[in-house]
């Protein structure tokens, strides 16, 4: 997986002769995923491809192929020391993951963690397309100060899990324009969020996780600021945490869910007051459209925050 800087590369078995494709795939996958065994559904014309993003710190591979089973034996573990984890996220089809007497079936909306420091088996058919992200062991151990359960499955269909899945998909979609720093920064956040998912209780008090919690809460509040029913409880339920966990995280940056929501609504209203596209809205209409229950409450909060009334803010923009 060594790379001096961030790089993106694509490979496919179609680039070699038919009779060489199974051997090509074994060598190709083994070059960046450590020593494995392979059981091919067919070897005469095996088809598969990868799009690989990697830096000195992380690797994300989108892959697809004909039916295959990957194995890692105890002997291979001893011969090829690799303590890193792989996060598997199917986009189509199903992955069957077996490790430590646990079988986990992964379909879209689910993810699974497998450690290369123990034997495992991974199977899929030709309908499968998936991501596999390499997460360095130090990122996992340092974050939770414990080992992940072998073959753990993760729910990526809602809450924090859905955020993880969306971030991974976006990371792959923007592969051609990212820098090394940007790629590593997003991967750092993904690793932290995965640790929180595996912990079960999300451990919002773990150093390094507070900033992630606050960032996600703030982003959610910003995207839903115009919803008049938005509350701290609603944010917690949407992200898969408890209200208490969010309160503890925000407390460390000197705010509360209520104050954060109000701040994002005020920012939204200010931007709309400055925008020619919203000039036709009355102050009352703009207040309600920005999530406030009344024009009076909006005007009072706006003046307290920005030092001028909403009408004065709009007048400044127009002149």
Are residues 39 and 11 located together in one domain of the fold? Answer: yes
Phi then psi for 121, rounded to 5 degrees?
Answer: -140, 140
Q: Are residues 85 and 113 in the same domain?
A: yes
Average pLDDT, the chain: 88
Same domain, 115 and 172: yes
Q: How many CA atoms lie within 13 A of 51 on its CB side?
A: 11
Please check whether residues 220 and 268 belong to one and the same domain.
Answer: yes
Sign of the CA dihedral running 302, 308, 309, 312? negative
3-state secondary structure of 232: helix
Domain termination site, one of 200, 221, 244: 200
Same domain, 183 and 247: no
pLDDT at 143 over 60: no
Say whether pLDDT at 147 is over 60.
Answer: no
**pLDDT confidence of residue 241:** 75
13: CATH: 2.60.120.280
Q: What is the pLDDT of residue 267?
A: 94
In a domain, 206, yes or no: no
249 is in which domain, residue-wise? 211-318
Question: Is the residue at 1 inside a domain?
Answer: no
Higher local confidence (pLDDT), 246 or 21: 21
Q: Is residue 109 part of a domain?
A: yes
Q: Has residue 64 been placed in a domain?
A: yes
Question: At 176, is the pLDDT very low, low, confident or very high (cuts 50, 70, 90)?
Answer: very high
155 and 271 belong to one structural domain: no
Domains in the chain, number: 2
Same domain, 190 and 56: yes
> Which residue(s) pair with 115 in the sheet?
85
What percentage of the chain reaches a pLDDT higher than 90? 61
**pLDDT tens, 303-313?**
999 999 999 99
Residue 149's H or E segment, with its range, is none
The answer to whether position 184 is within a domain reads yes
Q: Give per-residue pLDDT as tens, 293-306.
A: 999 999 999 999 99
Same domain, 226 and 87: no
**CATH code for the domain in which residue 294 is found:** 1.10.10.60
Residues 182, 255, single domain; the answer is no
Residues 223 and 301 in one domain: yes
The answer to whether residue 318 scores a pLDDT higher than 70 is no
Given 200, 219, 251, the domain boundary residue is 200
Residue 155 falls inside a structural domain: yes
At 240 the pLDDT is 72
By DSSP bridging, strand 59-65 and strand 85-92 are: unpaired
Q: Is residue 162 part of a domain?
A: yes
Q: How confident is the model at residue 1 (pLDDT cuts 50, 70, 90)?
A: very low
Residue 195 and residue 296 in one domain: no
Instruction: Look at residue 30 and tell me if it is in a domain.
Output: yes
| Separation of CA 109 from chain center | 12
Max CA-CA distance within the chain? 76
191 and 233 share a domain?
no
| Half-sphere exposure (Cβ direction) of 171: Cα atoms closer than 13 Å | 29
Block residue for tokens 């591979």: 61
Last residue of a domain, one of 174, 200, 226: 200
């Amino acid at each position: 997986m060594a790379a001096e800087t961030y790089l993106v590369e694509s490979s496919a078995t179609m680039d070699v002769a038919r009779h060489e494709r199974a051997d090509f795939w074994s060598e190709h996958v083994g070059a960046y995923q450590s020593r494995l065994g392979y059981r091919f559904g067919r070897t005469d014309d095996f088809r598969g491809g990868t799009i690989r993003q990697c830096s000195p710190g992380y690797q994300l591979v989108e892959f697809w192929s004909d039916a295959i089973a990957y194995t890692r034996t105890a002997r291979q573990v001893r011969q090829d020391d690799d303590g890193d984890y792989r996060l598997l996220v199917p986009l189509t089809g199903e992955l069957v993951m077996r490790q430590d007497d646990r079988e986990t079936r992964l379909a879209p909306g689910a993810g699974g963690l497998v450690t290369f420091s123990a034997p495992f088996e991974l199977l899929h058919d030709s309908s499968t397309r998936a991501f596999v992200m390499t997460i360095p062991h130090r990122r996992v151990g340092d974050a939770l100060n414990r080992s992940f359960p072998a073959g753990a499955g993760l729910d990526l269909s809602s809450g924090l899990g859905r955020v993880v899945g969306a971030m991974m998909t976006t990371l792959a979609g923007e592969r051609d324009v990212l820098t090394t720093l940007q790629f590593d920064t997003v991967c750092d956040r993904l690793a932290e969020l995965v640790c929180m998912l595996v912990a079960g209780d999300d451990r919002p008090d773990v150093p390094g996780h507070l900033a992630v919690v606050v960032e996600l809460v703030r982003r959610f509040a910003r995207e839903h600021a115009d919803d008049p029913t938005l509350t701290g409880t609603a944010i917690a339920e949407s992200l898969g945490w408890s209200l208490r966990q969010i309160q503890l995280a925000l407390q460390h940056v000197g705010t509360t869910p209520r104050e954060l929501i109000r701040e994002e609504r005020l920012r939204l209203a200010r931007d709309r007051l400055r925008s020619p596209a919203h000039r036709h809205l009355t102050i009352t209409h703009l207040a309600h459209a920005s999530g406030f229950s009344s024009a009076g409450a909006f005007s009072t909060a706006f003046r307290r925050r920005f030092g001028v009334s909403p009408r004065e803010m709009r007048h400044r923009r127009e002149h």
